Structure 1
Amino acid sequence: MTKKIPLLLGVGIILVILAMGILAPWLAPHDPLAIHLSNRLSSPSWFYPFGTDHLGRCVLSRILYGIRTTVACSFLILVFTILIGLPIGLLSGYSRSRPDHFLMRVIEGTLAIPDMVLTLAIVGILGPGLLNMAVAILMVRWAMYVRVIRSLVLKVTKEDYILAARMSGNSHVRILRHYLLPQILSPILVYATLDMGRIVLLIAGLSFLGLGTQPPTPEWGVMLHDATAYFQLAPHVMIFPGLAIVLFVLSCQLVSDRFKALDVPLQKRGV
């Protein structure tokens, strides 16, 4: 039971954060965009549990609404990345044709550049904004999933039951759907859970640099960017958004580590 504590804790934190984002209109004590200059940089109190920022906006309300921007955007990016990378990775690893070798050389060249640097370059070309940032992250991260999925497919295709399935006259589509796909879903889930935290960090980082979500939209990275000039005067404006990012990324790490541990016996049994 003790081995499941990190998994339950990680899943619980993620579910609580998602629920708080969904219920933000009812949980937020104030309008996240309402400006009250008379209350600017107020310390945490009963009326403002997390204090206020440099424009007198409620930090707690902005964090709650920021879940809808940061976490929801990262989840959509992750879903579209998998939808693009999964079929390409499956076909690439299963066919092993000349186009596959060419594709892998292109992907290796792409992955040779740090993802943050390449994403910054693409956003710089497209221009700042939430949509452009999402497109830039998607253009960079799909190659990682293709490479991971392709390596998993290459490993599974060496198993005896795949050879038996081919000798039994199964079509390629049936082999991909019924024999290969179920075997690689678990490792993909592990990788995607961990990558969710990475995407959140990437979104927050780009927004912090002014290339992602633009003010006054509530977003954790934007809140950190706005708080840098007031950190010494009112540290709470940076501490609470930073804690929100750390808490979510840590919960993704806990879930991913536990899934990885659960996946080991399955691979040994060849399930």
Structure 2
Amino acid sequence: MKKTPYSWDASLIVGINLLIIIVLIGLLAPWISPHDPLKVNLSNRFVFPSWTYPFGTDHLGRCILSRIIYGIRISVAFAFLIMIVTFIISLPIGLITGYWRARANHFFMRLIDGTLAIPDIVLTIAIVGMLGPGFLNMMIAIILVRWASYVRFIRSLVLKICEEDYILSARMSGNTHARIMRRYILPVTFSPLVIFGALDMGKIVLLMAGLSFLGLGAQPPTPEWGAMLRDATAYFQIAPHMMVFPGVAILLFVLACQLISDRFKKLNAADLKEV
């Protein structure tokens, strides 16, 4: 397998550096956060950005900067957890449906087509509406929505790999199907899948923020970005900073994922041609 030449460009460097900075800020939240994100101080309501409160305060006098910093922990950590669970569910299904083209394959593909035919946010809202609002139900809903994209991606990789000559040689050598998938197919699909999942975190964070904004995800007083936007809607005219800064935080995280994604999509396409 010929290795694809790797070259750095401005968008990739900016995206990686921005993502690293955001993650580091979240990890160092207890040490760099200027105030307690949950502390209520009604005497400091709607304070505009200042030296004491760099991003101002909200309707309960809580430091917006501190809540955004701790919100990184919630959004990124739970997005990573959702990605891992989706990965565990989708990997065996994608491998089996791509390797064995039997009736089960048709069943899963029709199920995937039906899932992907509905916009993610609409289907997620419908599932959370049935399960009830809450962070756990929101995570379950996102997993039930995002698994189809992972399975389709894995299946497309496996179908491409199974056409290669070395897979035919492995079959003729007497290797079992399980051994072929474990030794010859899984290692090739693992790297693109990890990249796909890591870059999918931007979409997951956006879904989480959207659901929390609608009141279906994180509930008060959790310092989650979407929940902060929901709290800010009633006070936007008198305290616009309550909405601006959480919105910018979401924008920067999604932008970092997108900048990296654009570059790695090209690399993955080149890799698949040379498998």
Question: What TM-score range do you get, normalising by the shorter chain?
Answer: over 0.9
Give the paired residue count.
270
Residue aligning to 2:3: none
Matches within 5 A, 1:194-233: 194-233=199-238
CA RMSD of superposed structures (Å): 1.5
Is structure 2 residue 195 aligned with structure 1 residue 165?
Answer: no
In the alignment, what sits opposite 1:62? 67
Q: Which residue identity is paired with 2:35?
A: H
Q: What SS class does the counterpart of residue 40 from structure 2 fall into?
A: coil
State the shift of 1:107 in Å. Answer: 2.0
In 1, Cα distance between equivalents of 2:212 and 2:15: 25
Task: State the distance in 2 between where 1:2 and 1:172 align.
Answer: 37
Secondary structure of the residue that 1:3 maps to in structure 2? Answer: coil
1:3 Cα deviation (Å)? 3.4
Distance 1:228 1:36 in 2: 20
Q: 2:122 aligned to 99, 117, 122, which one?
A: 117
Aligned-residue offset at 1:2: 7.6
State the one-letter code of the partner of 2:129. G
Cα gap change, 1:119 to 1:264, in 2 (>3 Å) = closer
TM score, norm. by length of structure 1: 0.95
- Aligned position for 2:36: 31
* Residue 76 of structure 2 corresponds to residue 71 of structure 1: yes
TM-score, L = length of structure 2: 0.93
Which letter maps to 1:99? Answer: A
Q: 2:21 aligns with which of 4, 10, 16?
A: 16
In structure 2, the residue matched to 1:139 is: 144
Q: Does 1:148 align with 2:148?
A: no
Alpha-carbon distance between aligned partners in 1 of 2:84 and 2:58, rounded to the nearest angstrom: 33
State the 1:269 CA deviation: 2.5
> Where do 5+ consecutive residues of structure 1 fail to align?
none
The equivalent of 2:259 in structure 1 is 254
Percent identity over paired residues? 64
For 1:4, the equivalent position in structure 2 comes to 9
> 1:4-39, CA deviations, whole angstroms, 9 ceiling, x for partnerless residues?
332232122212211111111111111101111111
The unaligned stretches of length 5 or more in structure 2 are 1-5
Distance in 2 (alpha carbons) for counterparts of 1:209 and 1:177:
43
Point out the more displaced range, 194-203 or 167-176.
167-176
* Cα 1:168–1:84 shift into 2, 3 Å: same
Letter of the 1:38 partner, please give it.
S
